[in-house]
Amino acid sequence: MRTKVVGVTFSNEDGSSRTRIIAGMTESDKVCIERDPFNQYDANAVKVCVLKNGEKKQIGFLAKEIAAEISPKLRKNVTFNVSIAGVGIWNDRPFCEIDIMEVASVPKEEVKPVTSGPSFTPSKPSGPTFNPTRPSGPASTPSKPAGPTFTPNRPSTPSSTPTSTTARATVSGASQPKATPVTSSPRPSSSTTPQNTNNSGCLGIMVGIVVVLSALLML
C-alpha cells in the first residue's frame, strides 16, 4: 500500500521542525510506523518516524482512514515493512510518500508454544482377576459320640420297717436263716385251742434290725 504522510508542516513536541527533517531525508533512509495511543484527536492515530543518526524523529501521521485499518493490527503486534517512495520539498512544501507492506508473520499474541506429540503411556492389560476362594464345604464339627449315659445310683437304704413277721436280710450274698418260732408251754385253759403270743413277732423284728445295722456297718 502506498500513501502520503500527513501533518508534515507541523512541529514536534520537542520543538523540532518536520519540514527541516524531511528536507534532509533521502529515499534510502529507514522509516517506521507506530501507534500514538495518547493522541487526543484520534484514538487510532499512527505516527510516521525516520531513523537518522541513531535518533527517531517524527515526520507526520498516516491518513485517518488508513490508520483506522492499520492501528488494530499494530495493537495485535503485527509488523509492517515501511519504505520511502518519495521525499523532498515541492513548491516550498515538504512531502513524503511511503510504501507499507504487512509482514506475513504470526502475531505475537497468537504464537502458541510448540508442544510435543501426544504422550503414550502403555496401560497394564486388564486381564481377568483371579481371587482364590476357600471352598465353602459343609463345616464338619466333630461331635462327641452319644454313648449310653451312665449315672451311678446311690444304694437305697433298706427300710427299717419289716413287711412281715419274719424278716429276711441279704448281706454280701448271704441269706439270714429263718428264725425258729418259740412256743410257750400251754397254759391250762378251759379252751382246747392254744393261744399265740406276740413274743415271737417282737423277736423277729429285733433280729431284723440287728441284721440291717450289721449290714450298714459293713458298707
Asked if residue 108 has pLDDT above 90, the reply is: no
Task: Tell me which H or E stretch contains 204.
Answer: helix 199-218
Which of 49-53, 117-121, 130-134, 151-155 is least confident?
151-155
The confidence score (pLDDT) of residue 97 equals: 96
Contact criterion met (CB below 8 Å) for 1 and 99: yes
Asked if residue 182 has pLDDT above 70, the reply is: no
Asked if residue 87 has pLDDT above 70, the reply is: yes
The confidence score (pLDDT) of residue 121 equals: 59
The confidence score (pLDDT) of residue 113 equals: 53
Distance, in Å, from the CA atom of 79 to the CA atom of 90, rounded to the nearest integer, reads 31
Distance, in Å, from the CA atom of 182 to the CA atom of 188, rounded to the nearest integer, reads 18
Cα separations (Å) of 85 from 30, 35, 81, 98, 100?
11, 21, 13, 5, 10
C-alpha cell at 50: 525516520
Residues 39-52 have pLDDT tens digits of: 999 999 999 999 98
C-alpha cell at 90: 515541492
Q: Is 22 exposed, middle or buried (0-12, 13-18, 19+ CB in 10 A)?
A: buried
The confidence score (pLDDT) of residue 204 equals: 80
The mean pLDDT value for 99-117 works out to 64
The mean pLDDT value for 157-178 works out to 41
Contact criterion met (CB below 8 Å) for 11 and 22: no
Q: Which of 98, 120, 214, 127 is nearest to 167 (CA)?
A: 214
Name the 3-class secondary structure at 91: coil
Which of 38-52, 85-99, 154-168, 199-213 is least confident?
154-168
Distance, in Å, from the CA atom of 181 to the CA atom of 187, rounded to the nearest integer, reads 17
Predicted model pTM: 0.48
